[in-house]
Amino acid sequence: MTEKSRRSRMDYWHTANLIMIVFSVGLVNSLLGPFLMDMAEIYSSAMNEVAVMNSARAIGLFIGSCVGGFLYERINDQILMIIMGAVYGVGTVLHPLLPDLTYFHVLGFILGVAIGISHIGSQVRLVTLWAEDSAPAIQAIHASYGVGATIGPFVGAPFLSLRENDIIVKETRIYIPYAASGFLFFLILISMIAAYCVDPIGIKKAKESKKVRDDDSSRAFETVLMALLVLYLTTSVNIESTFSTLISVYAHGSPLLEFSKPDAAYLAGVFWTTFTGGRIVSIFVAAFFDVKKFLLVSHSLVLCASGILVLFGSSAACTWIGVALMGSGVSAMYGAAKALVFKYFHLRHFHISMILTGACLGIAVPAYFVPPVVERWPMFLPYYIGTCNISHLIVLLLMFNAVRGKRTIHEANEKPKGIQKEDALP
């Protein structure tokens, strides 16, 4: 009984460490959008050149996710995650302190690799620790990223530079929130090291207990549905990343709005607040609400948000409302779409790799061509996001059409044993 209780306490300790790491990553990542203009001043570069860091980080994320599995087979997962946490903590402090923009982009790539490797380790450790009870832990770790991303813009806003009539009234002090975030990583690493000293056991690679039969689902159907899902999630990540990164630039640069830098940063905070709130609420709503209807409601919200931002682009009040609706609507799409599709075929590692590739493309590709256009023509952002939202809905409807009349794998397994034996015959 004592051993079981102690083991349970260690599970909570390990889980809390992982949740705090993801929270800190969300906090740091959310700072780039509001700090984009000040970063451009620090590195004497255009904002679109600074924003390329998103692309570098996405490439690093993909590579880190690819090599992570290889590394975890050879290194204790706790040690590897501690190393990656240390890399990310030091890199966080260095954000505004590097010699030039090239180093900044290289830093983004390195941090992306660290995130990718940590992502694999955290997911495997959580599932192994909590087994059949892992769903709440996974939801908590995803929500923690959103909580960190929500807090980031609000914490960073007071440290932005201030200009009046092209004269700098207050110098930027964004190095302070980055240093504070680095210190937070340091505290978390102390907790992770302490947990490792008490419980140094690593998570071994799980072996497949059984093979999935090829006739469990149509290969052609699986390929088509998976392709639609990757396209859907790529678009979803594109909307989330592009909108959250550039909404501050849009609000500050639009001649119809002319938000101050702090107000523009708070606008990004509103997006992340509603995004996180929507993600938390979706955990409970999804348990009682049909996933298809849930997705349609989400798409209705983002389409409404796009309509408000396009038609009432000169209204500050409507901009706040539109941003709040956008965050609420896009928050649940990623998880809900996967929940819908994964009911129709057995999930494989290859599927996760494809999803990750799509997510990286959704972040990296728009970061090259959208920021320079928004910088010159701010209204391009609501037009671009609106077009993406319409395309997103079309892909969703194609997914609905693809699964129409199909049985889920759970329904297929609910057959009498006699029928199962007959199905197994050639």
Asked if residue 256 belongs to a domain, the reply is yes
Taking Cα atoms as reference points, which of 150, 146, 175 lies closest to residue 160?
175
Report residue 208's pLDDT band, with 50, 70 and 90 as the boundaries.
very low
Helix (H, G, I), strand (E, B) or coil at 68: helix
pLDDT average, residue stretch 334-354: 72
Q: Poorest-confidence range of 102-106, 374-378, 407-411?
A: 407-411
Residue 98, pLDDT > 80, answer yes
Report residue 352's pLDDT band, with 50, 70 and 90 as the boundaries.
low
Asked if residue 20 belongs to a domain, the reply is yes
Residues 143 and 234: their CA atoms lie apart, in Å, by 20
pLDDT average, residue stretch 290-296: 88
pLDDT average, residue stretch 128-151: 70
pTM exceeds 0.75: no
| Residue 402 domain boundaries | 215-421
Report residue 212's pLDDT band, with 50, 70 and 90 as the boundaries.
very low
131 and 224 share a domain? no
Taking Cα atoms as reference points, which of 248, 250, 272, 271 lies closest to residue 261?
248
Residues 246 and 17: their CA atoms lie apart, in Å, by 31
Residue 7, pLDDT > 90, answer no
Residue type present at position 276: T
Report residue 278's pLDDT band, with 50, 70 and 90 as the boundaries.
confident
370 and 319 share a domain? yes
Report residue 409's pLDDT band, with 50, 70 and 90 as the boundaries.
low
List pLDDT tens digits, range 362-382. Answer: 887 888 889 999 989 999 999
Please classify residue 318 by burial: count the beta carbons closer than 10 Å to its beta carbon, then call 0-12 exposed, 13-18 middle and 19+ buried.
middle
Whichever domain contains 53, its CATH number is 1.20.1250.20
Residue 55, pLDDT > 70, answer yes
222 and 134 share a domain? no
384 and 300 share a domain? yes
272 and 388 share a domain? yes
**β-pair type (167-170, 162-164):** antiparallel
Indicate the DSSP class of residue 212.
P
pLDDT average, residue stretch 244-268: 89
Tokens of 173: 């002090």
pLDDT score recorded for residue 411:
63
Asked if residue 307 belongs to a domain, the reply is yes
pLDDT score recorded for residue 425:
37
